[in-house]
Amino acid sequence: MTVTEKTVSAAPSEPAAWAGRGLGWLRTQYPLLILLVLVVLAAVLSDAFLSTRNLENLVLQMSVIGIVALAQFIVVVSGGIDISVGSVLGLACVLSAGLFGGASTGLAVLVALGTGALLGAVNGFLVAFRGLEPFIVTLGMLALARGLVYAYTEGVPVRPADPAFTLVGTATVLGVPVLGVIWVAVALGMAFLLRRTVFGRRVYAVGSTPEAAHASGVPVRGTLLAVYVIAGLLVGLGGFLLASRVGAGTPTAGTLFELDAIAAVVIGGARLSGGQGRVFGAVVGTAIFGVITNLLVLLNVSTFLQDAFRGALILLAVALATIGRSPARRGR
């Protein structure tokens, strides 16, 4: 067979190769497929779903939890977990609205960011430098932060004095809520940080195998501390944005946000053992839960059944995440 004949005979295999790559990509993008199916289903089941007003509400509902999910995502990639994100967000929310009388929106942002960063640093120090389990550390922080929320508010919503406090949470840009724009900006920044910087590669290395990362010269403790501080900053930002959207710091702000954030990260394809996951997956996971919640509300489904639907979706996501893995990897 001549060289020309070999080239011609090999040509038909190229489309097959591209098709194989396409199928492989689809298998790794199952969260996106789930989201597309849900959007189509929601549009069919409810005429109000695609209305401008409902889509704006949907973006507003997803934005804050989306930012919290990104905070959870970087912690999970590093091999940890943070179940205190909801309570820390609640504390940042009420302090940003009430501290110093809520007379300045700029000061409120600093208070929220400082609160999140401080509590994140405490979590990071105990995990990185004291060797404590992230679950236990953040469980304690969950109780501490929520207790401080109730002690500060005494069960009563805190309303800021600055009339411009709600501007960020309610404004739109070309019909798109500012909260949504901030969420996308944070997601893009997180993606750049984790995929295009040395620090991001260190986070994945620490989450994959801390011992090997340490042997390679990666400052494991410093990296983990930075991860929890960054997560705290994002949670603090979410606390201010929630207060800005609602117009007050409520004692129940952030309740169960940790479950929603973990679920969004898991359904987005991240591995809870660390070292794997993409920011895009966390964003899609957040959107999936947002669409489901919105659709169930539009259909007047009981809140109890809403929790059941969300739980079933988490189980489905975990099951789908195992597709394509070898038995040896599934057994790890």
> How high is the pLDDT of residue 151?
94
Instruction: Return the higher-pLDDT residue of 27 and 38.
Output: 38
Helix (H, G, I), strand (E, B) or coil at 158: strand
Q: How many angstroms separate the Cα of 274 from the Cα of each of 32, 75, 111, 270, 278?
A: 21, 8, 31, 8, 12
In terms of average pLDDT, the best of 119-123, 270-274, 327-331 is 119-123
Summarize pLDDT for 215-242 with one digit per residue, the tens. Answer: 999 999 999 999 999 999 999 999 999 9
Least reliable range by pLDDT among 50-64, 144-158, 289-303:
289-303
Looking at the predicted structure, is the pLDDT value of residue 209 above 80? yes
Looking at the predicted structure, is the pLDDT value of residue 9 above 60? no
At 16, the pLDDT band (50, 70, 90 cuts) reads low
- Closest Cα partner for 72 from 138, 6, 28? 138
Q: Calculate mean pLDDT across residues 146-169.
A: 91
Could you tell me how far CA 97 lies from the centroid of its own chain?
23
Q: What is the DSSP secondary structure assignment for residue 46, as one 8-state letter?
A: -
Looking at every residue in the chain, the average pLDDT score rounds to 87
**Residue bearing tokens 């590669």:** 201
CA dihedral 182, 188, 193, 194 (to 10 degrees): 120
In terms of average pLDDT, the best of 17-31, 125-139, 281-295 is 125-139
Looking at the predicted structure, is the pLDDT value of residue 30 above 90? no
In terms of average pLDDT, the best of 20-29, 132-141, 269-278 is 132-141
> How high is the pLDDT of residue 7?
46
> How high is the pLDDT of residue 306?
79
The DSSP annotation for 221-239 comes to HHHHHHHHHHHHHHHHHHH
- Closest Cα partner for 173 from 48, 63, 56, 287? 56
Looking at the predicted structure, is the pLDDT value of residue 256 above 80? yes
- Closest Cα partner for 205 from 216, 197, 193? 216
